Each structure stands twice: as C-alpha cells, then as structure tokens.
Structure 1
Amino acid sequence: MSKQLPDVQASSPDVTVGLSRVGVTGVEKLVKLGREDQRPIVLMAEFEVFVDLPSWRKGADMSRNMEVIDETLEAAVANEVYRVENVCGEAAERLLEKHDYTSKAEVRMEAEYVTREETPESHMPTQSTADIVASATATEDGTREEIGARVTGMTVCPCSQGMSVARARQTLEDLGVEDEVITDFLDQVPQPGHSQRGHATLTVETDGDPPVDLNEIIEVARESMSARIYNMAKRPDEDHMTYQSHSDAKFVEDCVRAMAEGIVEAYPELDDDAVVRMEQSNDESIHQHNAHAERVAPFADLRREVNGGEARGD
C-alpha cells in the first residue's frame, strides 16, 4: 500500500498574500516553424511559464506543475507551426484550463532565428540572426499573443557628426574654398561621427487577428537604425555600410521613432488596441555608459502620432 503524501502546496500560507507570477523558467523545447514549399525551420526555444497564485494557497504545485507544463508545451510544439506566438497562446490556454485556482496564465518564448540574404555590394550569400520574442497571456476574457524580434544594427551619433561637419567647414574655409563648393562637398561626403552597435526590439501584441508576420517585423527593426550589418562583408560592403550609416545618423530616440513609422506603414489596418513595444539600446563607443530609449503604446496612438495627429507642445 502506497503512502499518502501531504499536499503542502494546497495548504494556507502563513502570510496570506497573493502572487502575480509563479512558475518555471529555462524550459527548452524544439519548435518546428513551417514554411510553404520549404522544409521547416527547427528552433531551439527557451520558455518561461507562469500562473498567478491566490492568497489562500501556499504554493503552485511546482513538481506537479512541471509535469503539466511539460505536457502542455509538448502538445503545443508537437506539430509544425506557422506562427510561433500560437505555440505560446495554446500553451497558456491549456494551463488556464488545468489550474482551477488561477485566473491568468503566461507563456514566453525566445529563440535564435536565422535568415538568409546577400551583402549589399559584393552580393555574397550570408546569414543574419535575430532573437524571436513571443508570448501569450490567457485569462477568462480571452488570449492576447505577442510576436516580435530583437535585432542588431549600426548607428551613428548626429551630435558628434555635427561637430565634425563644423570642423570640416572651418578647415575648408581657411583653405580658401568657396562656400558653394564646401556645401556641395559636405552634402556628398558624410562626415565622421562616433558609431555604436545598436540593438532594436520590436514586438506587437494582438488578439491574433489580423496576424502579424515575423519576417516583416524583423525588416522594420533592421531598417530603423542607421545601417544594417552583415555577418559576411567584403571591402565594398564595408564601404557601403560605413557610407550608409553616416548618411543616416540617428540618435537612439530616432531609432524608436523609425520603428513606430515602419510598423504603421507596414500594418495600416492593425487593430487600434494592438500594443506595440519598441526599444533601442546602443553600445556606446566613446562612453562607458550605453544609451536606451523605448515606447509602449496602443497602435491607435502610434498611428495618430505618426500621421501628425499630435500637436507639438509649447
């Protein structure tokens, strides 16, 4: 006869305070991302899974929960998927069904995603990587899913570039060069500014309709910085990236605004209550600190602002 073990987690806690999130992190699973007429992409994904915990319950049955979580994730990733956020959504809904004491279930997923492209000048085949960021939150009111990516690019500081422009202009004036020639030269030859490696994060949270394409989000994020970068680059490509980045110098704030403009242009019919998260972090080259800017907003607000609907304050 087996011994009945006490269910300590179901007892009352000494301090009756509810918890917003209880769960597990670092759960690794393979996810097959389907593509039309092509072999699926296999991702090694890492999941975080949480439920809320009422004040009257001591614990969330962590060992038993892990079994439920593992079964849930295995069911969610068993077949090919075309939208990775659906994996999170299905898992969150299953968790909500299996826990009679919880009112909210959250599932987050990150995975490295590789895309193929070619270098801008030498047209050599190369690969670029992005980190997929997906999540879902399930409640009695329904499920919200988030899909997005974190990408790396290059930015150039407009402030330091402006100082270089002033120095170049003064030097050319001292050499007796005509003003018209100086202006033409500076228009055609971007002046130096200190550059940074930039990290852009762009995600969109919706109720799943209309769907948002992961590859489109990656493109918007990559195009938001001064220049794209490539894993493979020959000298003509390096020259292209240097010229491109200095031709489009951007503050960290400009990159976030470029993401806002890009997502509004890419998805003009997105639901007003979709939530867009945009973050830009730059690894500064001449400072020991880094620069960061972000915005989280309903799509209706972004559309109005991008289209000039918000007047400038005094």
Structure 2
Amino acid sequence: MSHQLPDVQSSSPEVSVGLNRVGVTGVEKLVKIAREDDRPIVLMASFEVFVDLPSWRKGIDMSRNMEVVDEILEEATAKPALRVEDVCGEAAERLLERHDYTTKAEVRMEAEYIIREETPASNIPTQATADIIASATATAEGTREEIGARVVGMTVCPCSQGMSESRARMVMEDLDIDAETIDAFLEEVPQPGHSQRGHATLTVESDGAPEVDLNELIEVARDSMSARIYNLAKRPDEDWMTYNAHADAKFVEDCVRALAEGVVDRFPDLPDDAVVYMEQSNDESIHQHNAHAERLAEFGQLKAELNGEN
C-alpha cells in the first residue's frame, strides 16, 4: 500500500503574509553566447531565481520548484544565445507560466567574461576580465531585461593631486623659475595624487529594444575611471597607466558622471524609460574606508540633465 506524502507547501501558513521573492541562488550552468563566424563564448554562470509568493500559500515547494528551475535553465542554456539577457528573459517567462500562483518571476545571472586585448604601449597580447550582470523580470504586463557589467580600473584623487601641484609650484618659484615655465611644466607633467583601484558597475534595463551591446557597455565602464588597468604590463605600459591616470584625476562622483555621459553618447537610441544603474566604488589607498557613489535614473532624465535641461 503506497503512502501519499502531504503537500505541505500548498497549505495555508500560520501567518498570512505574502513574500516578494522566494527561490534559489547559486545555481551554476554553462551559458553559450553566439558569435558571427566564430565559436560561441562559453561562460560558467551563476543564477538566482525567484518568484513571489501570495499570503495564502505556505511555500513554493522547493524540491519541485528546483526541478522546474533546473529544467527551464537547461532549456534556456541548451543552445547558443545572441544576447545573454535573453537567456534570463526566456527562463523568467517560463517560470511565470509554470507557477499558477505567481505574478512575478525574476532570473539573475552573473559570469566572468574574458576580454582579449593588447597592452597600451608595448602592444603585447593580454586578457582582461569583466563580471557580466544580466537579469529579467517577467509579469503579466511583459518582460523587462537588464544587461551590464562590473569592471576594474584605476582612479587618482584630484584633491591630493592639487596639493602636490601647489607644493611643486612653490618649490619652483623658490628656484626662481618664471611663472610661464612653471605653468608649462605642470601642464605637461601631472603631479602625484593618491590612487585607488576602482570598481565601476553599469547596467541598462529595458523592454529589450533596441539592443544594447554588452561589449560597448564594458568599454563605457572601463573608460569612466582615470585609466584602464592591464593584467600584463611591461615598463612602458606601467608608465602609460600611471601618466594617463594622473592626467585624468577623478573623484568617485566624477566616475559616475562619466558613466552617465558615456551611456548617453554611446546609446542614443535607448528608450527614455530605460533604467540606467551606475555605481563606482574605490578601494582607498590612504584610508581604511572606501569611497562610493551611485545613480539610478531613467535614460530620458539623464539626457535632459546632460543637455542642461534640468
């Protein structure tokens, strides 16, 4: 005689409170990104999958839900995708279909992405890394997808650089160097400032049209800081990074503004209701604390601000 196991998750909870996000995290899958005339890029991706839970239901049936999640992610990642955010979008829509008590499904993915490039001065082949961020939220109204990246770079503090420049000016004045020569020297040779390793995060969320190119987003993020950094660097490359970083000293706030300017410049056809998230976090070198700035705004609002309309 078989024994029917109780479906406790579908019963009513003792406390009738709905939950916004219930699901699983740390689900690892291989994702293939298609490329024209080349082999797909293979990513080891980590997924987070959530659905909302009404107040009348005790739980989402985690074991059965995990089977659904695994099945859906397997189907969504089985073939190469043109856009990594579409993998999340397909999975979120299928989750919504399979959960009759759910009004919203969310799928988030992160993966390390390898960029092949050359060092800036020695032109030696090397690789850089970026963390891809992709997500999708599916509701009865439709699906919104997000794509972006987190990258590392170098920043230099304008405040400490200004103090170094002031000191250099006083020393040269004491050496009876004329003001015109001092100005020319300081214009040509940026003065020291304390530097940081910076972390820039840039994402764009929209209804999927027009297409946002991941590689261009990464370029915008890398260029938002004082200088790019490179895993492999000969002495000419180290000199290039040091000089260029000090020639473009930026506060943490300036980096976020550069992200905004870069998005508006590189993606002029984004819809006004696309949501842009920009974040900069700097690992301070002369303090125990770190510096942080961020902005979340609709694309239309950013355009208006940069055009001086607000």
TM-score range, shorter-chain basis?
Answer: over 0.9
Aligned to 1:206: 206
Distance in 2 between the 1:2 and 1:244 partners?
74
Secondary structure at 2:51 match in 1: strand
Deviation at 1:3, TM superposition (A): 1.6
Q: Which amino acid aligns with 1:198?
A: G
Alignment of 1:51-66 (within 5 A): 51-66=51-66
Aligned to 2:68: 68
Secondary structure at 2:58 match in 1: coil
Distance in 1 between the 2:170 and 2:163 partners?
11
Q: Which amino acid aligns with 1:69?
A: V
Structure 1 unpaired stretches of 5+: none
Aligned to 1:149: 149
Aligned to 1:171: 171
Aligned to 1:233: 233
Alignment of 1:239-278 (within 5 A): 239-278=239-278
**Superposed CA offset, 1:281-307 (max 9, x none):** 000000000000000000000011112
Secondary structure at 2:17 match in 1: coil
Structure 2 unpaired stretches of 5+: none
Instruction: Tell me if 1:104 matches 2:110.
Output: no
**Superposed CA offset, 1:118-173 (max 9, x none):** 01110000001000000000000000000000000000000000000100001111
Instruction: Tell me if 1:7 matches 2:38.
Output: no
Secondary structure at 2:91 match in 1: helix
Distance in 2 between the 1:20 and 1:94 partners?
18
Alignment RMSD, CA only?
0.5
Instruction: Tell me if 1:34 matches 2:34.
Output: yes
Distance in 2 between the 1:172 and 1:179 partners?
9
Distance in 1 between the 2:36 and 2:12 partners?
52
Aligned to 2:305: 305
Aligned to 1:180: 180
Instruction: Tell me if 1:189 matches 2:192.
Output: no
Distance in 2 between the 1:90 and 1:192 partners?
50
Instruction: Tell me if 1:136 matches 2:139.
Output: no
Distance in 1 between the 2:202 and 2:137 partners?
18
Distance in 2 between the 1:231 and 1:42 partners?
21
Secondary structure at 1:16 match in 2: coil
Q: Which amino acid aligns with 2:306?
A: V
Distance in 2 between the 1:225 and 1:299 partners?
21
Secondary structure at 2:192 match in 1: coil
Distance in 1 between the 2:45 and 2:186 partners?
48
Aligned to 1:44: 44
The alignment's TM-score, normalised by the length of structure 1, stands at 0.98
**Superposed CA offset, 1:259-313 (max 9, x none):** 0000000011110000000000000000000000000000000011112212xxx
Aligned to 2:23: 23
Q: Which amino acid aligns with 2:47?
A: F
Aligned to 1:161: 161
Instruction: Tell me if 1:294 matches 2:294.
Output: yes
Distance in 1 between the 2:98 and 2:298 partners?
31
Distance in 2 between the 1:273 and 1:253 partners?
24
Secondary structure at 1:48 match in 2: strand
Distance in 2 between the 1:83 and 1:253 partners?
31
Deviation at 1:2, TM superposition (A): 2.8
Aligned to 1:93: 93
Count of equivalent residues: 310
Q: Which amino acid aligns with 1:297?
A: A
**Superposed CA offset, 1:196-222 (max 9, x none):** 000000000010010100000000000
Secondary structure at 2:96 match in 1: helix
Q: Which amino acid aligns with 2:233?
A: A
